Amino acid sequence: MSTLQAVHNIPEICAQLGITDVVLSPGSRCAPLTIAFARHPAITVRTVPDERAAAFIGLGLAQAQRRAVALVCTSGTAGLNYAPAVAEAFFQQIPLVVFTADRPPEWIDQLDGQTIRQTDLYGRHAKGSFTFPADTSHPDAEWHAARLVSEAINLAEQFPAGPVQVNIPLREPFYPKPGEELAFGTVKVTRELPGRPQLPAAALQELRETLRDTGRMLVVSGQHPAEAPLRLALRQFATAWQVPVVGDLIANLHQPAATGHNQHPRFVGRQDVFLAVPEPGLKEALRPELLITFGQSLISKALKLFLRQHRPAQHWHIQAAGPVADTFQSLTQVIRMEPADFFAALSAKREDADKLHDDAAFAAGPTGPNRNVLPADATRVAPRPRLSWPAPTEADTAKTSYLRPWLAAENWAGGLLAGFMQQPEPPFNEFTTIFRALQQLPDGAALHLANSMAVRYANILGLPAGHGAEVFANRGTSGIDGCTSTAVGAALAQPDRPVVLLTGDVAFFYDRNAFWHNYPTPNLRVILLNNHAGGIFRIIDGPRQQPELEEFFETRQTLTAANTARDFGLRYFPVSTFAELDAALPVFFAAEGGAALLEVFTDSKTNAAFFEQYRTFVRTSL
């Protein structure tokens, strides 16, 4: 038996526990792992030379497949380059199993080459860290090695999921002899079956009584994968209790309900628009008494500030396990259930339930989304629709009188955006470009939003009503470092699904090595907003007022993506006018033709001025 048999068993353990994809970066110390994974018949192995890109590609694979993916790297700083993706996976709760090859323990701190301190390399940004035995010749050591690999995989997928490190000290020789075959025999694994926590009937009844006695209830979803059962349970809950449900684009609440179910009530997603209006009366009308939250982070700063400044008396957070953040400084109760189970359990028909006001009625009124659609020959910016919210009527209950202002504000925001985006002859700018691109986004696409302005623009503009795209963003740490690589991983994971990345120039050029591999991604489409600067610093308050803005914050650059597209075989569409954009988008999004890159050239100052025009339009809408 090979002295490396315990190492060669690792792919078999991974395969038996459901890991089918491995992303590795070449190296010598990791050779036993590389060879074992490459020769295993049930494992798909991809090689990506840049460890930082490799880790984010692995994250994209795991995110799309909703199961653990393994990473393999050599010793030394290779594993440190995984750190940004490991941190993102930790906060976004994505399962990664990170195998880091290492020197044997006696050679650590002995000035041997390519050697650092790799034990617990990611600290508190990993769910756990395991050290593989350096010597596995004894049967107990081999049993121990197999056991800890099982434990690592189970821990990575255990809710809340996340990254786990397995550090593997290896001694030479690393390579099998010529003609030597590796044995993938029966290996003992430990499986873990997930459970779903449920509350006792008495506890559910107590919660139900609180819901019945509370008039101003609000549900807010943080970032969450698209889940049809959850959306259905939310619709039933909102109908039964007449509750507004609010979520950013990355909450994936915008997708239509399952076939055969009522598409109402419509969820609220325009909060970045109407909460930007400096109207104390509206904020007071929207203030909740009971806030119910689930999911992870929020993009909308306006919503976070609103809930911190108008704190509810009670705040329930629904999460099956794991630590819970007190984002709004108002948390009073953690309810250990899956969100779908919670909303389903509390949305059963109630004898005292009032009929839900159909939000479609608001759409036809003076605050509806078509209020400001301009005629083709319009020669001025759209008039501002008046923001108003319904006063309670005698027919209203406490719940409906709270629901109606949320729906009115949502419809008003839709009308405001519709009017503003149809103004005639705007200057060529990012905001309008993204609006037009999102209107033509393939239905059912995986939309990846890079951090900085791309994710903010998209969250304001939203998707067309009923659009089936699933939205992703690296909002665990909100870094720009792996946005492209994550989208590449998603494209590799789902080759039959359109994957669209909306990104800025700094994020794109920082992560160009996302394309440095040998695996085709014909379904990938990248929309690159190139304003030759870090444009967000010209838009956010603080840096834009400083004399150091251009040199030390924007960090202007003259790069274009033409060479990147040529180097990696991407169809290239450079555009710098709306006419060029409108002509390019249908060809760019077409299913045939292969991977494509649409580079949108704009001016940073023009973008900032146009976005400020939009913000002024909203702020002065009264």
> Whole-model pTM?
0.90
User: Closest by alpha carbon to 154, among 128, 124, 186, 125?
Assistant: 128
pLDDT value at position 179? 77
113 CB burial (10 A radius; 0-12, 13-18, 19+): exposed
| Lowest mean per-residue pLDDT among 45-54, 185-194, 306-315 | 185-194
As a whole number, the mean pLDDT across the chain is 89
Per-residue model confidence as pLDDT tens digits over 159-204: 999 999 999 999 888 877 787 788 887 888 989 988 889 999 999 9
pLDDT at 252 over 90: yes
Amino acid at 572: Y
pLDDT value at position 92? 96
pLDDT value at position 186? 82
| Lowest mean per-residue pLDDT among 416-425, 479-488, 546-555 | 546-555
pLDDT at 364 over 70: no
pLDDT value at position 422? 87
Q: What sign results for the dihedral spanned by CA atoms 246, 252, 255, 258? A: negative
Average pLDDT over residues 380-395: 64
Average pLDDT over residues 87-92: 97
Helix or strand or coil: residue 70?
A: strand
pLDDT value at position 67? 96
399 CB burial (10 A radius; 0-12, 13-18, 19+): buried
| Lowest mean per-residue pLDDT among 41-50, 394-403, 416-425, 492-501 | 394-403
Beta bridge partners of 107: none
d(CA 11, CA 233): 39
| Lowest mean per-residue pLDDT among 80-94, 442-456, 525-539, 585-599 | 525-539
Average pLDDT over residues 348-362: 44
**What percent of the chain has a predicted confidence (pLDDT) above 70?**
88
Angle, CA 18 vertex, CA 13 and CA 23 arms, to 5°: 80
**CA end-to-end span of the chain, whole Å?**
79
pLDDT value at position 263? 57
pLDDT value at position 195? 86
pLDDT value at position 384? 60
> Residue 413 has which token pair?
């925001």
User: Closest by alpha carbon to 499, among 582, 434, 442, 451?
Assistant: 442
- 445: CB partners within 8 A, 6+ apart: 469, 470, 497, 498, 499, 500
> Residue 170 has which token pair?
């290896």
Work out the pLDDT band at 556, boundaries 50, 70, 90.
Answer: confident
Helix or strand or coil: residue 457?
A: helix
d(CA 220, CA 315): 11
Per-residue model confidence as pLDDT tens digits over 323-341: 999 999 999 999 999 999 9
**What percent of the chain has a predicted confidence (pLDDT) above 90?**
73
pLDDT at 444 over 90: yes
d(CA 274, CA 282): 9
Per-residue model confidence as pLDDT tens digits over 15-43: 999 999 999 999 999 999 999 999 999 99
pLDDT at 420 over 80: yes
Angle, CA 311 vertex, CA 309 and CA 316 arms, to 5°: 140
Q: Starting at the earlier edge strand, list the strands of the sheet with 128-131.
A: 44-47, 21-24, 69-73, 96-102, 163-169, 128-131
Work out the pLDDT band at 371, boundaries 50, 70, 90.
Answer: very low
